[in-house]
Amino acid sequence: MAYEQFANRLADIVGKANVLASEEDRKVYSYDGTSTWTHKPDLVVFPTETEHVEAVLKLANENRIPVTPRGGGTNVSGGSVPIRGGIVLVMTKMNKILSVDAANLSARVQAGVVLMDLQTALAKERLFFPPDPQSFLGATLGGIIAENAGGPVCLKYGVTKQYVLGLKAVLPTGRIVEFGGSTVKNVVGYDLVSLVTGSEGTLAVVTEAVLRLLPLPPARKTIIALFDDLPKSGETVGKILDAGTIPAKIELLDNWVVRSINRITGMGLPEDAAAMLMFECDGTEDVVEHDSRNVIRVCEEVGATQVLVADDPAKAQAYWKARSAGFAAVFGAAPTVLAEDVTVPRTRMAEFIQRVTAICKKADLEVTVIGHAGDGNLHPSVMTDAKDPAHFQKAQRAVDEIIEAAVEFGGVLSGEHGIGLEKQKFMRRTQDPIFIDLMRNIKDIFDPNGILNPGKIWEDRSG
Amino acid sequence: MAERLENTRKFQADVEQCMKCGFCGYFCPIYREEHEEKGLARGKDQLIRSALQGEQDLTKGFYEAIDNCLLCRTCVQYCPAKTRIDHAVTAARADYVAEKNLPPAKRIVFRYVLPHRRLFGLALRLASWFQGLLPRGQGRFRHLPQFLSALGAGRAIPDIAPRFLRTILPERSPAAGAPKYRIGFFSGCATEYVFPEIGEMIVDVLRNLDCEVVFDRRQGCCGAPVYLSGDFHTARKMAARNVEAFEDYDYVVTGCATCGSGLSEYPTYLADTPEKKERFERFAAKVKDFNKFVIDVLAADLDRLTLKPRFHGKTVTWHDPCHLARYQEVRTQPRKILQALEGLRFVEMSDADRCCGLGGSFSITHYDVSRKIADHKSDAIAACGADAVVTACPGCMIQLRDALARRNMDVEVLHIGELFTVRPQSKQT
Ligand SMILES: Cc1cc2nc3c(=O)[nH]c(=O)nc-3n(C[C@H](O)[C@H](O)[C@H](O)COP(=O)(O)OP(=O)(O)OC[C@H]3O[C@@H](n4cnc5c(N)ncnc54)[C@H](O)[C@@H]3O)c2cc1C
């Protein structure tokens, strides 16, 4: 269906410059961070205030126009792809940090604020917002809340839902609501803040959020440990936590990534290392000192072949940069990279990685595993080429097996990227039908006409 | 007829690097003002990719997208996938121009005015006469009246110099001491017509650092504004002429960041045969920015640089032009010079290498955004407390002067070559 006829009415709401309908504009709002999902919207609309969102949703609801919210478009699950056309509601022009309240450790922001911009502003007041999705240069707080994003530090600090105190949002029927408040403790009724957080833009459009902050840790230290065998790295993680130390980050990189770091940075890491762990300890000086001593001791006890400590911030930064470079190399390594997001119990991580390697070896596929070892969230990435149907199918079958293995190991199919379109087909296979049924019913209450981000999370009733 | 998208196809591998992470948004000066995907490298990349796949015609909307780029390369510097969107955008502009021609104003300037030095001079003379009618701003700047809003309403533009460099500078300036090198001085259009005194000062410095300097009259426009706008055809003629004029010198030195990178990139965009590629590469290897030449090639004894009295006690900051910092990796050299100048205080502003928003003709065609981008620069300059901002790009200088004048900021904009003289070879050695 075409909705161009509504362009003028939308322009009356948000202003002419904030409604785009050209072929090119529709094209550049047809994708997200995935390589496979695209669909053009009919119209692109930029609200600049909550009341705009209210009026747009009223109009859309009355006329049954699909509306897909979009922040930075960095998600990797097809979440912001307007699969049914209609309106893409782009939140990037609502990008003001409304207030920072150092005394109450909270900030009020508009949904389109990019995480890095928030962190920069907070750092000036020696504060930070702990959730750290590695897409912080592009992801917006609206998208981060909608995906309940997490990152390396969630081992110690948790994920987004622990840091959202209140939300201002607009329901698909065009009603402005405020959920939660600005206090950490709040048990007034059902926790609708948590319900909307992680709802992938299907229940409400978030326009403002009150975020919980923490004081910026005054000290931090980075440690790298290399292992000649994978299970040893898994054992190390367990033992460090047992010893009572919770590093802010524990990142796991496999041999493939270690080699590409060497290639890119010339760091000269052992080429035969089966795994590399990267730790960051943070806190006050003495806590960091104590924790890093613990980490180093355990790594050595378990039998790391090499332990490197970054004694100054520049060196630490160089290490983390090398990790990002290694990460990025994964995506440049093949025309299509199927990057998964499974999470398994920490204790079964090594075993699971070995299974992944075996699955891919059997199918003659190149794979690399990187992940957040502290919480068992792993990103096995299978290299393929969508333009080569035979190879691509083979890769997709391997991914199916990987996901089934994760579930078999007691894990889940997505740790932080969400379901969107990308993981739908696994929902029915891996979830109790009542779970999907309850979600559908909740969705119907919020969105009786099914206009908000339709077609996501679960497959069509018909399909 | 030439193959469709012939130029873009050469950079297909660059186009296909993008993995759509969208990190470019954080670095793109335009996206940070407009917040629209078409302004973003990722958006441009997807449109160009779509064109290569035969799914996107070279429409007006397509041109608007690829035209809306400063080619500042900030996103390229940080792109995790190392996507060379600058290559892709420049080549796509060339294919657009080949198929649809340039917009009329650029066509006249690039094809008829810039290539002909005398005509260019004449046109500027005429313009300067008209300028006489414009309201005067501070110093040698005038404000464009509303009716010239195509050039940016209210913007300050520099006066055309009363005498052009060609009529001031002799063709050959002998080295002060035993000549180390014979160098060709490439002035560039802005230095020739707007800031001739800077050209003189640079030549004077080089001469006193024992170089024989030739201001070869055969030189023309470097071609960068022309080929970066997609007119490869005209720029090839300009390149041929400049290479011909300069290939026998030891070095080609310029005080203009854009000219320096413009000449250095001939092999990337303008070489249409293997022979030319080889010849352009040899030529490009000789091209040196003034700062780089003084520090890296001459390894000049910085104690010989003497601050001019009028700058004594002043605090200055350095603005990194995109075409120096990101195109030629020149960052430390000018700072070394500024820090060596006795009597001068050097402070860093925040984000010194952030684009000033000029982007050549971008500042004319997109003045509104260009101005907003420049305002961030003014903020940084104001915050660091400098009396003067020093740079090495006449283009940036024009933009910075406009930006500072708009804020009524009492901060001078200087070319690094204006600050010092060179003492003759010291006696104690
Ligand atoms: C290189 C890379 C690294 C990544 N690393 C991580 C990581 O470490 N951890 C992690 O969790 N994720 C990661 N991601 C995924 C992605 O960045 C996150 O999902 C992020 O939260 C998306 O934010 P966004 O602003 O880009 O949202 P978008 O991609 O625009 O949208 C995501 C979803 O949120 C909805 N949405 C957006 N804004 C709103 C709003 N205002 N109200 C309601 N719904 C909204 C959309 O409809 C969509 O369903 C990574 C992605 C990339 C490309």
Closest residue by CA, ligand 1 atom 28: A73
Report which DSSP code applies to B230: T
Side-chain-facing half-sphere of A9: CA atoms under 13 Å: 13
CA dist A122 and A126 (Å) reads 6
Reported as a single tens digit per residue, the pLDDT across A37-84 is 999 999 999 999 999 999 999 999 999 999 999 999 999 999 999 999
Domain chopping of chain B, boundaries: 2-100, 302-422
Contact flag B35-A95 (C-beta cutoff 8 Å): yes
With a 6 A CB cut-off, is A379 part of the ligand 1 pocket?
no
Among A33, A327, A332, select the one facing B20 at the smallest CB separation: A33
CA dist B409 and B374 (Å) reads 13
The pLDDT assigned to B158 comes to 73
Higher pLDDT, A166 or A269: A166
With a 6 A CB cut-off, is A273 part of the ligand 1 pocket?
no
* Locus of tokens 């080295």: B175
**Which H helix or E strand runs over A355?**
helix A349-362
Q: How confident is the model at residue B65 (pLDDT cuts 50, 70, 90)?
A: very high
Hey, what are B268's tokens? Answer: 């990337």
Chain A residues in contact with B36 by the CB 8 A cut-off are 20, 25, 46, 90, 92
Share of chain B above pLDDT 70, in %: 90
B427, pLDDT greater than 90: no
A291: Cα separation from own chain's centroid: 28
Contact flag B25-A137 (C-beta cutoff 8 Å): yes
Lowest mean pLDDT segment, chosen from A135-149, A324-338, B189-203 = A324-338
Reported as a single tens digit per residue, the pLDDT across B294-322 is 999 999 999 999 999 999 999 999 999 99
Atom of ligand 1 at shortest range from CA of A150: 11
* Mean pLDDT in residue range A369-382: 90
Among A22, A33, A95, select the one facing B22 at the smallest CB separation: A33
Chain A residues in contact with B81 by the CB 8 A cut-off are 328, 331-332
User: Which residue of B15, B37, B45, B64 to mutate against A (max A Cβ within 10 Å)?
Assistant: B37
What end-to-end distance do the CA atoms of chain B give, in Å? 65
Query: Which residues, 6 or more positions from A163, have their beta carbon under 8 angstroms from its beta carbon?
Result: A129, A130, A131, A211, A212, A213
Which residues on adjacent β-strands are paired with residue A205?
Answer: A170
For B207-285, strand residue ranges (E) read: 211-214, 251-254
The pLDDT assigned to B282 comes to 97
Chain A residues in contact with B82 by the CB 8 A cut-off are 332
- In angstroms, what is the span from residue A119 Cα to ligand 1's centroid? 17
The hierarchical CATH code for the domain A219-408 is 3.40.462.10
Among A24, A90, A337, select the one facing B61 at the smallest CB separation: A24
The pLDDT assigned to A57 comes to 98
Q: How confident is the model at residue A431 (pLDDT cuts 50, 70, 90)?
A: confident
Beta carbons of B38 and B68 less than 8 angstroms apart: yes
Higher pLDDT, B148 or B296: B296
**B17 in contact with chain A, both atoms CB, cutoff 8 A:** yes
Higher pLDDT, A11 or B126: A11
**B64 in contact with chain A, both atoms CB, cutoff 8 A:** yes
The pLDDT assigned to B150 comes to 45
CA dist A362 and B248 (Å) reads 62
Domain chopping of chain A, boundaries: 3-90, 97-215, 219-408
B143, pLDDT greater than 60: no
With a 6 A CB cut-off, is A94 part of the ligand 1 pocket?
no
- In angstroms, what is the span from residue A37 Cα to ligand 1's centroid? 15
Q: How confident is the model at residue A444 (pLDDT cuts 50, 70, 90)?
A: very high
Closest residue by CA, ligand 1 atom 35: A201
Chain B residues in contact with A138 by the CB 8 A cut-off are 21-26
Fold match between domain B2-100 and domain B302-422: no
Q: How confident is the model at residue B147 (pLDDT cuts 50, 70, 90)?
A: very low
Mean pLDDT of chain A: 93
Among B22, B38, B46, select the one facing A74 at the smallest CB separation: B22
Atom of ligand 1 at shortest range from CA of A416: 11
Hey, what are A42's tokens? Answer: 């009919």
Hey, what are A284's tokens? Answer: 């006050």
* Mean pLDDT in residue range A247-266: 90
Contact flag B23-A135 (C-beta cutoff 8 Å): yes
Cα separations (Å) of B136 from B130, B388, B405? 12, 22, 12
Superfamily of domain B2-100: Alpha-helical ferredoxin (1.10.1060.10)
With a 6 A CB cut-off, is A146 part of the ligand 1 pocket?
yes
Contact flag B80-A31 (C-beta cutoff 8 Å): no
CA dist A205 and A218 (Å) reads 36
| Domain B302-422, architecture per CATH | 3-Layer(aba) Sandwich (3.40)
- In angstroms, what is the span from residue A275 Cα to ligand 1's centroid? 28
* Mean pLDDT in residue range A135-158: 95
Contact flag A46-B56 (C-beta cutoff 8 Å): no
**Which H helix or E strand runs over A251?**
strand A249-254
With a 6 A CB cut-off, is A369 part of the ligand 1 pocket?
no
Among A27, A72, A331, select the one facing B46 at the smallest CB separation: A27
The pLDDT assigned to B1 comes to 43
Hey, what are B5's tokens? Answer: 């998208």
The pLDDT assigned to A446 comes to 98
The pLDDT assigned to B135 comes to 55
* Rounded to 5°, angle at Cα A413 from A409 and A416: 120
The pLDDT assigned to B145 comes to 46
Give the closest-approach CA distance of A65 to chain B in angstroms.
22
User: Which residue of A16, A18, A22, A27 to mutate against B (max B Cβ within 10 Å)?
Assistant: A27
The pLDDT assigned to B109 comes to 74
Closest residue in chain A to residue B51, using alpha carbons only: A24
* Mean pLDDT in residue range A193-205: 98
Reduce the DSSP state of residue A223 to 3 states and report it: strand
* Mean pLDDT in residue range A251-259: 92
Report the greatest alpha carbon distance in chain A. Answer: 70
Among B24, B35, B62, select the one facing A24 at the smallest CB separation: B62
Contact flag A73-B50 (C-beta cutoff 8 Å): no
The pLDDT assigned to B127 comes to 66
Reported as a single tens digit per residue, the pLDDT across B86-132 is 999 999 999 999 998 887 777 777 777 777 777 777 777 666 666 65
CA dist B26 and B31 (Å) reads 8
Contact flag A28-B46 (C-beta cutoff 8 Å): yes
* Mean pLDDT in residue range A297-322: 91
Q: CA nearest B356: which of B327, B381, B388, B333?
A: B381
Beta carbons of A33 and A76 less than 8 angstroms apart: yes
Reduce the DSSP state of residue A361 to 3 states and report it: helix
* Mean pLDDT in residue range A423-430: 86
Reported as a single tens digit per residue, the pLDDT across B359-390 is 888 888 888 999 999 999 999 999 999 999 99
Reduce the DSSP state of residue A118 to 3 states and report it: helix
Hey, what are B320's tokens? Answer: 């990194």
Question: Side chain identity at B258, as an amino acid letter?
Answer: T
B231, pLDDT greater than 60: yes
The pLDDT assigned to B272 comes to 92
Alpha helix (H) ranges present in B175-247? 189-193, 196-208, 224-227, 232-246
CA dist A112 and B35 (Å) reads 10
* Mean pLDDT in residue range B183-203: 94
Side-chain-facing half-sphere of A302: CA atoms under 13 Å: 25
Q: CA nearest A70: which of A21, A118, A28, A24?
A: A28
* Locus of tokens 């690097």: B17
Among A22, A34, A332, select the one facing B81 at the smallest CB separation: A332
Higher pLDDT, A337 or B372: B372
CATH T-level fold of A97-215: 3.30.465
Alpha helix (H) ranges present in B302-366? 322-328, 332-340, 362-365
Share of chain A above pLDDT 70, in %: 99
Handedness of CA A230, A231, A232, A235 (dihedral sign): positive
Q: Which of A74, A206, A250 to mutate to test the pocket of ligand 1 (most atoms within 8 A of CB)?
A: A74
For chain A, which residues lie within 8 Å of any Cβ of chain B, measuring from their own Cβ?
Answer: 20, 22-25, 27-29, 31-35, 46, 72-74, 90, 92-93, 95, 112, 114, 116-117, 135, 137-138, 324-325, 327-328, 331-332, 335, 337
What are the φ/ψ torsions at residue A248 (nearest 5 degrees)?
Answer: -65, -40
* Mean pLDDT in residue range B133-158: 54
Atom of ligand 1 at shortest range from CA of A206: 42
Contact flag B21-A20 (C-beta cutoff 8 Å): no
* Locus of tokens 């470019």: B24
Beta carbons of A93 and A99 less than 8 angstroms apart: no
Report which DSSP code applies to A198: T
With a 6 A CB cut-off, is A323 part of the ligand 1 pocket?
no
* Mean pLDDT in residue range B163-167: 90
Atom of ligand 1 at shortest range from CA of A453: 47
Beta strands B388-391 and B412-415: pairing type? Answer: parallel
Beta carbons of A394 and A363 less than 8 angstroms apart: yes
Closest residue by CA, ligand 1 atom 21: A144
With a 6 A CB cut-off, is A66 part of the ligand 1 pocket?
no
Q: How confident is the model at residue A220 (pLDDT cuts 50, 70, 90)?
A: very high
The hierarchical CATH code for the domain A3-90 is 3.30.43.10
Assess: ipTM above 0.90.
yes
